Amino acid sequence: MNRAWSRTAIVLWVVLLGVVCVRPLFKPTSSTVFPIYAYAGADFAAGKPLYDRSHPGTDIYRYSPLVAAFFEPFARLPLGVGGSLWRIGGAILFLTGLSAWSRRVCPSVPPALVFLAALPLSVGSLSNGQANVHMLGLMLWGTFLAARGRWSWAAACLAAAALFKGYPIALGLLIALAAPLRFGVPLAAALAAGYAVPYLLQDTAYIESQYRQWFEAVSGDDRTAFPFHLGYQDTHMFLRVLGVKLSLAEFRLFQVGAGAMAAGVVMAQLRKGMPRDRVALNSLSLGLVWMTTFGPGIESSTFILAAPLMARELFDGRDRPRWAVPFTWIGSGLFFASVVLFAFPHEVHRPIVALGIQPLAALLLGVAVVARAMVVPAESTRPGALPLLRAA
C-alpha cells in the first residue's frame, strides 16, 4: 500500500512540476507574477523607481528594494527561462523543507501521504510563480534547523523569508523566545545585513527614496472595503461576511492580539520545561496559523502556508485532542472545495469564494493545529509540570 501511495505522489508531483516549469518557456507572461519581479530587477539595476508604476500586463511591485536587487540577475534572462528557474528553485526549497519537517514532526506518517495532502493547496502558488513557495520552504527549513540546534543557519533561513515578505518575522520572534541569544542575535544581524545590501549595489539617495516609498506603499495597503472576492481572504473578510465591520486600525489590534497569544503559548511551554526543539516546531504551527488567519496580505495563493499543517492534521493522530478532529476535517474539506472551485470560470467561483469559505477553512484548521500545539506530553516537561492540555 505504501508503494502505491508513493508512486501516486511521485507521478502527481512530477506532472505538476513539469507543467508549471515548462509552461513559462512557451507562455512567459500568462497567469504568472514572475514578470513583476523580473521588471523590478531591471528597474533596480537602472536606478528607476520601483513603486507606483507598472509594466504592461503586470501588477505593481510591492516588495522591498532588496528583493528587486535579488531579481536583477533574473532580469538578464528571457522571461520564460527566468520564470522556469524561479519555479524550480521554489519547488526544491519547498519539497525538501516539507520532507525534512514532516520526518521530524510526524515520522509515523508515510511521506507520500504528506506530499499528496499538501499538493492541492500548492498548485496555485507553484503555477503562477508566487514567492510563497520559496518563503514556506525557507520557514520549514529554518524551523527544522532550529529544532536540530543549528540556530545560526535557522536564523539565516527565517531572515531571508522575512526580508522577502515581512510577516515571516512573526515566526522568527516566536522561535527567538526559545533561544534569544543563540537565535535572536543572528536573526537580528541577518535582517540588518539584508536591509543594508541594496546600499552596496546602488546610489544611497536612490535606495533611501525606494525604502521610503516601499514603507508608504505597505502602510497604505487597505482592502477592507474591497468586494469580497477582490479583498484579502483573512479573518477581517470573514467578519465582514458575518456583518461585523472593523476598520483597518481596529483589525490590526486583533492581529497584534492574536500574535501576542501565540507568544504567550510559547512562553508558557518554555516555563513548563518543554524542550526547545519541540517549542521551535510548535512555533512554526502557531506562526503559520497566524499568517493564514490574521496575517497581512492574505490572498488565495497564501494558503499554501496551510498545506503542511493540513497534511499533518489529516494523518498524524498522536498528541491530538479528539475534539479537534472535526475541525480538521471540515477545514480541510473547505480548502479542497476551494481548490476545485478555482478550476471553474470567475462567474462560478467568485460568488462562492465571497462567502468566506477560505478564511473559515483557515480558522477551523487553525483551531485543530493550536489544540495540538498546546498539548504537552508528560515526557516533554520537567518532573511535576502539568500539561496545558492532555491528549485524548
Q: What is the DSSP string of 68-108?
A: HHHTHHHHTS-HHHHHHHHHHHHHHHHHHHHHHHHHHH-TT
Among 182, 201, 389, CA closest to 282? 389
- Does residue 290 lie in a domain region? yes
355 is a domain residue: yes
Place of cell 501576542: 260
pLDDT of residue 225: 83
Strand partners, 389: 375
Structural domain span for residue 242? 221-392
Q: What pLDDT score does 389 carry? A: 40
State the Cα–Cα distance between residues 32 and 377, nearest whole angstrom.
45
Residue 325 φ then ψ, to 5°: -60, -45
**Residues 324-353: tens digit of each pLDDT:** 999 999 999 999 999 999 888 888 888 888
Nearest to 76 by CA among 50, 26, 42, 37: 42
Specify the number of domains making up the chain: 1
Consecutive 10-residue averages of pLDDT for the chain (392 residues): 86 95 92 92 94 81 93 94 96 97 94 96 93 96 96 97 92 96 96 96 95 87 83 92 91 94 95 93 97 92 96 91 95 95 87 92 96 73 40 37
The answer to whether position 154 is within a domain reads no
What pLDDT score does 381 carry?
47
SS (H, E, C) 132-151: HHHHHHHHHHHHHHHHCCCH
**354, part of any domain:** yes
The rounded distance, in Å, linking the Cα atoms of 80 and 114 is 31
Kindly report the CA angle at 100 between 260 and 261, in degrees rounded to 5? 10
Over its C-alpha atoms, the chain yields an Rg (Å, rounded) of 21
pLDDT given at position 379? 52
- The DSSP secondary-structure symbol of 386 reads P
- Assigned domain for 105 exists: no
Residue 362 in any domain: the answer is yes
pLDDT for position 390 = 37
310 assigned to some structural domain: yes
Q: Specify if 338 maps to a domain.
A: yes
CA gap 68, 190 in Å, rounded: 18
Residue 188 dihedral angles phi and psi, to the nearest 5° = -60, -40
- Cell numbers at 195, concatenated: 536591509
Question: Pick from 131, 129, 157: which is nearest to 145 by CA?
Answer: 157
